[in-house]
Structure 1
Amino acid sequence: MTRSRLLWPLLALVALLLLNLVFTPSFFALRIQDGHLFGSLVDILRNGAPTLLIALGMTLVIATRGIDLSVGAVAAIAGAVTCTHIATTGDAIGGMALALGLCAVLGLWNGFLVSVIGIQPIIATLVLMTAGRGMAMLVTEGQIVTVNNDVFAKVGAGFLVLPIAILISLAVLAGVALLTRRTALGMLIEAVGVNPEASRLAGVRSRTIIWTVYVFSALCAGVAGLMIASNVNAADANNAGLWIEMDAILAVVIGGTSLAGGRYSLTGTLIGALVIQTLTTTVYTIGVPPETTLVFKAAVVIVVCLLQAPRLTRTFRVPVPQKAGA
């Protein structure tokens, strides 16, 4: 247990939850009202759903030795396209489909730059990170586009006992887990991340794998953008998904996935996303000014990563006594 990379993230999550309980004795309380489940824990899961979605896509990208800095901008584009389409035509389903289709195209663009052109992932996605906000601003003409559509509102604020946003993110997590752990896809992703050239020589289509994970990352960002816009019934191209790429990367790192590529942990990503969202909630609960949230996030990430570091782990590892004659 002490050698598990999930131990310290789990302990950090438990510590944050207990700290909230100290300041708010009813923190763990749950109630059902009108067939809907409410409570602080439910709020953490709902507010963390966009981060979890983007972190899932980021996990697979990082597993291929890449990075995707454009997910926040892609989320803003998805919200902008959907809300503008709804405001113009009133068609929520068509607007969401159009937005996700555009997100897939943006993912193809990132994958093309990385796998075909050979641009470093951090540079290739930085291009869209910078230009994407401008694209979203062009779509909304620099305005905050507000909408009033019941179908669209359900994506971020609807309930099926639990908030629909939670159900969507958990469904994507389950689907990714089944697809990557019950088929050869997960092994191929890890192989590309460990050594792209060796995997290519072994017959693995590394370009196709890289292209696929960037498209998936963009689609996850698109769905997260729909959640963010739906939750407030508006598209704010300038602020929607701002810095969410940093939260996603932090969640992946806290979960034990190496930025050097190779092996990854979807369970760790889930725990990391919960740590990030619980930390944000804790900052508000204990009365710390919101502008210092990033400082607290940085402190927690540094501590957790240090505790996960192999050198530090070896230093504090308790030797297991050997039986006589073994």
Structure 2
Amino acid sequence: MENSTHPLLNSIFSETHQELQTLQNDFLNLQIHFVNTNYENSQSKDYNEILEEDENDESNELLFISEYQLQKYHQIYNNNKIVDNLKENNLNNNEFEKLKTTINNNEETFIKQISETNCCQNNCLKEKINSKKAYLRNFNFQSLSKSNQDSFLMGYFIGISNLKNTSKGNKRIRISYNYSFDSEKICLQAFKFIYGIGSTRIENIKTHLFQEDIKARIHKSARKSSYTAIPFFTVIRIINFILSYANKWGLASPGQHFKREKIEITFLLAIENYTSLYRKYLDAIDQDKNIDKLYICLSSFKTIFKNFLPEIKFLTPRSDLCYFCKVM
């Protein structure tokens, strides 16, 4: 049906240029058809398809890393070699090889491993310890940096050590250790299980205490590329994962004072933290063919996050305030 108006209501311009009136009607019909069709299609599009498109966009490995950023990250990497505790603290006993998996902080897995592990004749793990407290201690210990872990262990060994003279004249001294957890005496194997550390590291710390007292331990390959250092390839994959996540879910910092804060801050949702993001990373690499090279512990993940991406932070209740409101 032709859309027309009464001739008396038509303007002089429309009567003079009738071809423009026809063109206007054609545009109107096209607009009505186009908007309705597009709107219906957009409403019928499934939300999961949108998420799949976003995931496909993130398939490019270096999607959010420029050449300049890559050079900057490589310089940081060379100045701060990150050693993954998961690869360094290998246990001597085969029955404790599965302890590596406790680093993922999965409480159900940790408790299940307690029930499946035979530590000694007294069954210290099953009979003497609270599994939930042991899991919490393991979680917190693995979250510490390696140097802080060493400091904790040195203090612990000093507290549980006993000196005994083993020969006449007090020329030979034997040091014994009474391991305990939550005021309960436990065996060495149970101690290694709870803290996720190996015999080699324990002996190295004890030797260091005997020779250097509580002086901070320095790795013999400090400032050198350790064979347990996380490859730069793995570091870049982790950085790219965090940047991809921040690009999708991050919020720009409101009210930022650039005279005091030199970098532009991006906030992640308040419901997230290092542990939850670490678990998302593990899920992301689950099907990767290079999973052996990409799998790291939580403490290494946090170290990479803090050293390479200081501009990405987690949202806190006061993060949405400007600088002047915070200091009021």
Name the TM tier (shorter chain).
under 0.3
Bigger relative contact order (CA 8 A; separation at least 6): 1
**Which structure has more helix as a fraction of its residues?**
1
What TM-score, normalized by structure 1, do the two folds share?
0.25
What TM-score, normalized by structure 2, do the two folds share?
0.25
